[in-house]
Amino acid sequence: MSENIRIVLVNTSHPGNIGGAARAMKNMGLSHLYLVEPEDFPNGNAKARASGADDILENARVVKTLDEALQGCSLVMGTSARDRRIPLSLLDPRESANKVLEHFDAGVEGDVALVFGREHSGLTNEELQRCKFHIHIPSNPEFSSLNLAAAVQVLVYELRMAQLARAEAPLKQRKFEASSMLNEQPASADEMERYFEHLEQVLIEVGFHDPQKPRHLMARLRRLYGRAEVNKLEMNILRGILTETQRSLRGEPGKRGGSDV
């Protein structure tokens, strides 16, 4: 998928930003950089800011028009610092990353391009109209314009996160299958209910909990255990502790050796 994503920088004036964008791309696993009429490229500042992402700069395609950069693209998204009232769907970077995944999922041929504008004036309305979606990083409206390379960083980071989330989903499923041993499965709602009843009982018996003055204790404990995602093995331990506490309160000899789990 990364192989089919292009980062297109239009008419960049500061070569350092080209280097910064290249670095951000390589960090996030992207490699296809298109430069539409850069003012000053190649340039030592670009190389310096790329900090080792030289291959991205060396392979960057320098073209004369946006059209050339977009040849072979089936989805084009443009970025803008200003929330321009143009009739395009406005997305934030996270939504745009999901759109990119959806696009590839649908099996559409061709590349996806993310287009970035000039440092001083951004993309023209005409250029933005070449884009199906318009991406705005929801920055401070009083100070909305990010540095160009920083804007590239935000977008490519979101793309990477979306890809990782996607790659992880089946992994989680696999983990669940591998852990299908009974003990590793989450305690059922029913088991949790029985535990809470048992816990409340013991807390009353030891004098910690007064049902006349409950102080939301049980609700708070439910929230705490809810966060812990208790599995069946852990549930056995918790129930064992309660049972032994009750036995001890009644002066019965303890099992010693603790739990048998």
| Binding site residues, ligand SAH, CB under 6 A | 79-82, 116-117, 119-123, 135-137, 139, 144-146, 148, 151
Nearest approach, Cβ of residue 208 and ligand SAH (Å): 53
Comparing CB distances to ligand SAH, the nearer of 23 and 209 is: 23
Q: Which residue has its beta carbon closest to ligand SAH?
A: 122
Nearer to ligand SAH, 20 or 122 (CB): 122
C-beta of 83 vs 197, nearer to ligand SAH? 83
Which residue has 């933005």 as its token pair?
A: 128
Question: 232 burial class (0-12, 13-18, 19+ CB within 10 angstroms)?
Answer: middle
Nearest distance, CB of residue 133 and ligand SAH, angstroms:
12
- Smallest distance, ligand SAH to C-beta of residue 223, A: 37
Q: How far is the CB of 232 from ligand SAH (least distance, A)?
A: 48
The residue among 134 and 239 lying less far from ligand SAH, judged by its C-beta, is 134
* Of residues 119 and 205, the one with the C-beta less far from ligand SAH: 119
Q: Among 20, 21, 11, which Cα is nearest to 48's?
A: 20
CA distance readout (Å), 176 to 169, 183, 184, 226, 235: 11, 12, 9, 19, 18
Whole-number Å distance between alpha carbons of 24 and 146? 14
For the bound state, the minimum distance from the C-beta of residue 178 to ligand SAH, rounded and expressed in Å, comes to 42
Beta strands (DSSP E) in 123-214 are 133-135
Structure tokens belonging to residue 251: 């002066």
DSSP 110: S
Percent of the chain as helix, strand, coil, to the nearest 5: 50, 15, 35
